[in-house]
Structure 1
Amino acid sequence: MIPAGRRGTTTISARAVARIAQQAATEKGGAVGAVRGAATVRGRRADVSVRLALPWPGELGHRARAVQRHVASRTGELTGLTVRVTRLGVVRLRRSEDSAVASPPDEEGGAPRRWWSPRSSPAAVIALLGAVPTALLTADVVAVHAFGHAPAGWRSDVVDRLSATRADALPVTVGAIVAVVAGLWLLLLAGTPGLRSRYVVAGFPSRRTVAVDRSAVASLVRDRVLDVSGVDTVRVRVGRRRVRVRAVLAFGDRAAAREEARAAVLGAVDDCRLDRPLRCALRLRTARTWDPVPDENLVNAPAADAPAGAEHGRKETR
């Protein structure tokens, strides 16, 4: 019998580990749609990354963590490797009939109206304006008292100019005005939330909030209105409280198209589940070549120069 040390080893390829991780991602967490995975194997360790779609609405953070833990444990169990999920990417959200409803707000309070901006740029400017003079002054004072150097010329010049300047001088007045304006600006930034281009999604607890960008809402509304029969061009502008839609009708009944387009806009806004509902304003005008009653035979007729026996699909004019 061949000794155990000379029987060879079993090597699991990175592709096999990726396939196992893909299958594990579909077992728990309610992944919806195709799952793509990648893996890198180094000895007895494997780094796995998974891209998938999750159902919506649902607790995304909890669901993503559950998928990550399950993929790591299940892949390690089946392969015998030490698996680490380095990246879990949620590429899209899809509605599912069996998806869990979002958690209601906590008893402590609902989600905030808007996300607060970190104000990184104003904070960096103020910190820089305060740090540079303070550092120079500190370095000069340390040089004078610790090493016995003479005071810097700029510090003596500043002290002499300030001692000779009157309180009602023009530079003092201008500096005071600038200081007041800067102070009011900082108070305004501190008292306003910022991030006005993001809307908070309703149905999440106060400890975790989810927001969508205005461009995402505009894209969803535009796609819904373009699905209306006869609509050719759509322009959407999403403001703070209102969605303005301007559409061009190429053919069909104008009144029916208006009602269908309005219903599409309202449905798209409702599907966003925003914490603060948006008002909708729709303006529908007809194109210069508008046809109230389009010829169905002309719309659905196959091309005359198409080859015989080829499959023809209906093409709807947008």
Structure 2
Amino acid sequence: MSQAAPAEPAPAERVPVLEEPVRGGAHRFWSTRRVPAALLALLLLAGAGLLLYDVASVRAGRPGMRWRRVLADDLATRQLDDVVVVVGAGLAIALGLWLLVLACTPGLRSVLPMRPDAEPLRAGLRREAVEVVLRDRAMAVAGVQSVRVRARRHKAAVRAVAHFRELDYVGADLDAALRAAVEELGLARPPRLSVHVVRPARKG
């Protein structure tokens, strides 16, 4: 009597392993700065057009615009240490530095970049959305009556009012809940938490 061969074990099911998101490496989003660029372009266009029109008028035998002749005569008689010259030069330098800062900085300070994943996508959260999430999580903690959240690039300040329970317990639960919420947001640079719990102000 032949003995039945043992059945082969079924191949183990391959469970996909989710890759941990890569921390860091996410840069701020660059702003298009359309309004400053448009205003500067219009200003330069108007100035260049006005100057070109005046030069063409002079070439055609007509006198130049009065403002240009007055300005040229005025600048020819003023000294370099004159107040008007110094103030005008200072304004021109300040405008140039402002334009350089706009050109060299990303802007969009209100958008916090999220951690990049395997997909070629970049995502970000506005500070208002971060504040709403942290406020909702804080209000879910037992003992919290009201809460105010201010989110910045590197810090999130939370001020809560607790109407019952000990402040130490409320603060500990609030800190744990908010740290979990910040981690779940998936920000590339999670802000530091600053939690402050107080009692309601007494009336009268």
Query: What residue in structure 2 maps to residue 111 of structure 1?
Result: 26
After TM superposition, give the deviation of residue 228 of structure 1 in Å: 1.2
**SS of residue matched to 1:251:** coil
Query: Partner residue of 1:93?
Result: none
Match for 2:154: what amino acid? R
1:249 to 1:167, Cα distance in 2 relative to 1, 3 A:
closer
Report the TM-score, using the length of structure 1 for normalisation: 0.51
Residue 177 of structure 1: aligned partner = 90
Match of 1:138 in 2: 52
TM-superposed CA distance for 1:141, in Å, is 2.1
- Three-state SS of the structure 1 residue aligned to 2:67 is helix
Contact 1:110 1:205 in 2 (8 A): no
Summarize deviations over 1:269-297 as a string: whole Å, max 9, x none.
Answer: 111100111111111223479xxxxxxxx
Paired residues for 1:115-194 under 5 Å: 115-145=29-59, 147-194=60-107
| One-letter amino acid of the counterpart of residue 199, structure 2 | T
* 1:21-61 deviation per Cα after TM superposition (whole angstroms, max 9, x unaligned): xxxxxxxxxxxxxxxxxxxxxxxxxxxxxxxxxxxxxxxxx
Instruction: Please name the residue that 1:231 is paired with.
Output: 144
**Aligned mates of 1:247, 1:219 — CA distance in 2:** 14
SS at match of 2:128: helix
**Aligned pair partner of 1:252 in 149, 161, 165:** 165
2:122 aligned residue (189, 209, 212): 209
Q: Distance in 1 between matches of 2:118 and 2:99?
A: 30
Percent identity over paired residues: 37
Distance 1:200 1:132 in 2: 38
Distance 2:191 2:146 in 1: 22
Preserved contact between residue 110 and residue 206 of structure 1 (Cα < 8 Å): no
Residues 199 and 214 in structure 1, CA contact (< 8 A), matched pair in contact too: yes
Question: Is the CA contact (8 Å cut-off) linking 1:249 and 1:284 kept in structure 2?
Answer: yes
The structure richer in strand per residue is 1
TM superposition shift of 1:227: 0.9
SS in 1 for 2:64: coil
- Name 1:277's counterpart in structure 2: 190
If the length of structure 2 is used for normalisation, what is the TM-score? Answer: 0.76
The answer as to whether partners of 2:21 and 2:115 remain within 8 angstroms in 1 is no
Corresponding position of 1:33:
none
Q: Distance in 1 between matches of 2:116 and 2:174?
A: 27
Take 2:129 and 2:144, find their aligned partners in 1: how far apart are those partners? 21
Structure 1 counterpart SS, 2:186: coil
- Structure with the bigger RCO (C-alpha within 8 Å, sep 6+) is 2
Pair 1:187–1:173, CA change in 2 (3 A) = same
**Alignment gaps of 5+ in structure 2:** 1-15
How far apart, CA to CA, are the structure 1 residues paired with 2:68 and 2:39? 23
Label 1:206 to 1:241 Cα distance change in 2 as closer, same or farther (>3 A).
Answer: farther
After the TM superposition, which residues 36-115 of structure 1 pair with which residues of structure 2 at under 5 Å, given as runs?
Answer: 110-112=25-27, 114-115=28-29
The alpha-carbon distance between structure 1 residues 203 and 150, as it changes in their structure 2 partners (threshold 3 A), is same
- How many residue pairs are counted as aligned between the two chains? 186
Query: Structure 2: how far apart are the matches of 1:185 and 1:153?
Result: 31
Gap runs ≥5 in structure 1: 1-97, 290-318
Q: Cα offset for 1:148?
A: 4.5
Q: For the residues of structure 2 that align with 1:143 and 1:206, how far apart are their CA atoms?
A: 60
- Between the aligned partners of 1:159 and 1:192, the Cα distance in structure 2 is 37
